[in-house]
Structure 1
């Protein structure tokens, strides 16, 4: 439920910029209007508001694809009215999804033949894919525990503290304990040895990440497989591995084909990957693939016939669009292995170029690794005067959306900026970003030290509470505020009277 408050009647309405041409009355903000309006007016009103959004091409926080070829855009629009779940009405779309599942299974070295034998499904992003994989692990573990006459009410998953929030959602929604391996400074992925130590008889799987959201680094799935195999033999357990390859699943096969992280490792039972990340499709499509039919409990597969024929389904949602699945198939046949390889190599080259430019400033430490997702994560060498959060905010003046964040436990004291390199991020954009970072850093160098700003806040509080001499406080506040306001007037395009 959304709760809103307004202080004036005018706050409740949206005003049409083009009122003199299309409309003469204000629109209610939170209620459906009483009457209709011309389609041109409705379009213009919505379009005008959307102009205030950030530019997706400059959104360097997102892993999600923001550009596709016009031919694929056309396919998407032509199929946007198809509901994927109507398999009997849209059998070709269903066939294209099955082809995609098999292509991905072969890419990940699943033990399948040349015919359509792969077990998997298209999902609404990797979040749903992870939910489905987690449910499969939970049900298999519960069934085994029941057969052994053992308690089955306290399942857990072992992950690193760097996992994406969808893992926390799965754990909370489906009542599974999430046991996290804490990070440490200089090591921002799950330590396989520590992960295996945390495994117990209630562990339904260990989740490894191929492409950490924080630094883009690949976790060592091969070492995890070796250590977990040894523990399974010692204990008699059969704890499996799931690989969250949301970001790296469409990178590793093309750039690091010899890297063993997928179904070549015996304990890897399922893998998820995001088609809308480096699968190069707009937001809304993910994939999950299982090693074999035995790894997906039949009790989780539903069979429906009221849409025309018997249709097996294993998804959390029912209705969903077909267009992203069709777009994924287009990319697979349009680019082929060679095309994906070229794009990923180009992304890595642009990441290298950006990394070199940021390093040359002398202000930052690079935290991302050379092997991993094409992104650049970097922190300030000296954050005593200003923070990465101020840099992030200042870069928005140039249109750049560069996220700043702190690391998870136990590395919370490390604050980072991250730039994700996608297909539409060119050499020239990388050079421009470095130039704008240099401008921001030079401007922030003139900002009063953070200690002075902190002092100003303390003295303001003291002033209100009457705990200090007023003449001294006025002088401290006046000098500090003058310096701060002078700085913001120089770098801001907006009026600062309200700030000062």
Structure 2
């Protein structure tokens, strides 16, 4: 820290120049997060920069806006009691997922106590999940039973559950938009298999849906798909407002089927801010602007607007899937149809000469961030790439990506690894 004060304009310019060394967010096709916002959102967030979301007595209208958002989501996700259900905003879907996991652990522990059985070995069953579930299991002392992907599968399959679920299972996590492949796991079929297991073994296991991305896609693009509270075993859902919810970074949501699904032991009462306020989020003080921004988007876009935005992204993703299939060396895992606006693919089994990691590095020369990563265990080290299509990334940008993909493939196939040549200008 310097000894003396400085001119704010000078400090701003120094930091602004340094931030230019970051990548262009609009070319980051690895992130699910929103990278484009309207000016009105920025203005509303400026108005809320000093508002503490936790201080509901001092900022009651911001608290009311949060409650409205919860009711909107409960209705969107077909809660049987959307007007009286319980939920809250969080800093993101990871925190929201952990709250859902904690509620399942507490309910399981309470049930074991009523039955006079030990509650020292809880486990959570899931397929290929985002890292937040591994953190939850480690932080809160729960065994994570992560089911490996089967060949040609893009997520957990219901018939795999029987070998992993038992009386110590606090819940099954179903993913609506698998991080690795972008496909949906079949929530209704998972629930039906748990019904069968319950009948045969007595293990009564709830489902938490991690809809970090799909929770703001499925209601608009696949409204007939039963994945939410229409499925009887689904007790809670988390989603990320700053992903396909279109809000700026810093907001997630968790909603329970009804208030009884959130154990009272997890609710704390705060009175030193000027009123008796319940809180059950992991974080405490945080800005209210992101919640207000989410409410603005609900009111600004409505169901029609979300359908149009997500539909345009899905159209572009399907087009990209078709183009990638035509390029030659790739095999699509998910073609952009039926789940998230995205594609995932791998190199064909007989392909040699370069890896997807090489392609990632080539694309970075032109500014594109397209991740390459191995699929979870038991897939023989299969490496895949994923491209996410978000609001603000349109057909023009994706067309440029395809052009650069073609040039990179041409260079890699020729055995060269230098910077791809820029095309000459033409109309």
Tell me the TM-score range normalised by the shorter chain.
over 0.9
Q: Which residue is 2:184 aligned to?
A: 218
Q: Which residue is 2:26 aligned to?
A: 57
CA distance in structure 2 between the partners assigned to 1:262 and 1:165 by the alignment: 22
Conserved 8 A contact 2:167-2:204:
no
Q: Which runs of 5+ in 2 are unaligned?
A: 423-427
SS in 2 for 1:204: strand
> CA shift at 1:100, angstroms?
0.3
TM (normalized to structure 1)?
A: 0.82
1:124-143 CA-partner distances (Å, limit 9, x unpaired) = 10110111111111111111
CA distance in structure 2 between the partners assigned to 1:89 and 1:215 by the alignment: 44
Correspondence 1:339 to 2:308: no
CA distance in structure 2 between the partners assigned to 1:196 and 1:95 by the alignment: 43
**Residues 222 and 488 from structure 1, CA distance in 2 versus in 1: closer, same or farther, beyond 3 angstroms?**
closer
Correspondence 1:129 to 2:93: no
> CA shift at 1:308, angstroms?
1.1
SS in 1 for 2:386: strand
> CA shift at 1:491, angstroms?
4.4
SS in 1 for 2:93: helix
SS in 2 for 1:175: coil
Aligned mate of 1:198, from 164, 167, 170: 164
CA distance in structure 2 between the partners assigned to 1:313 and 1:142 by the alignment: 21
CA distance in structure 2 between the partners assigned to 1:434 and 1:106 by the alignment: 39
1:353-389 CA-partner distances (Å, limit 9, x unpaired) = 1112212211211111421111111112254210101
CA distance in structure 2 between the partners assigned to 1:252 and 1:126 by the alignment: 16
SS in 2 for 1:367: strand
1:149-179 CA-partner distances (Å, limit 9, x unpaired) = 111010000000x100000000000000000
CA distance in structure 2 between the partners assigned to 1:178 and 1:257 by the alignment: 31
1:39-81 CA-partner distances (Å, limit 9, x unpaired) = 2221122111110100011100000001111111211122122
Correspondence 1:174 to 2:140: yes
Q: How does 1:453-472 map to 2 (within 5 A)?
A: none
CA distance in structure 2 between the partners assigned to 1:152 and 1:489 by the alignment: 59
Aligned mate of 2:249, from 277, 283, 288: 283
Which of structures 1 and 2 has the larger relative contact order (alpha carbons within 8 angstroms, sep 6+)? 2
Q: Which runs of 5+ in 1 are unaligned?
A: 1-31, 448-486, 494-500
Q: How does 1:362-373 map to 2 (within 5 A)?
A: 362-369=328-335, 370-373=337-340
Correspondence 1:109 to 2:78: yes
TM (normalized to structure 2)?
A: 0.96
CA distance in structure 1 between the partners assigned to 2:23 and 2:367 by the alignment: 7
**Residues 119 and 490 from structure 1, CA distance in 2 versus in 1: closer, same or farther, beyond 3 angstroms?**
closer
Cα RMSD, aligned residues only: 1.4
CA distance in structure 1 between the partners assigned to 2:126 and 2:188 by the alignment: 15
> CA shift at 1:112, angstroms?
1.1
> CA shift at 1:490, angstroms?
6.1
The structure having more radius of gyration, on CA atoms, is 1
> CA shift at 1:446, angstroms?
1.6
Which consecutive aligned stretches of 4+ in structure 1 deviate over 4 angstroms post-superposition? Answer: 488-493
1:181-209 CA-partner distances (Å, limit 9, x unpaired) = 11133112011111233110000000000
CA distance in structure 2 between the partners assigned to 1:304 and 1:138 by the alignment: 24
Q: How does 1:340-489 map to 2 (within 5 A)?
A: 340-369=306-335, 370-381=337-348, 382-447=350-415, 487-488=416-417
Q: How does 1:160-171 map to 2 (within 5 A)?
A: 160=127, 162-171=128-137
SS in 1 for 2:216: coil
Q: Which residue is 2:16 aligned to?
A: 47
Conserved 8 A contact 2:173-2:207:
yes
CA distance in structure 1 between the partners assigned to 2:141 and 2:368 by the alignment: 39
Equivalences, count: 420
> CA shift at 1:430, angstroms?
1.2
Conserved 8 A contact 1:55-1:399:
yes
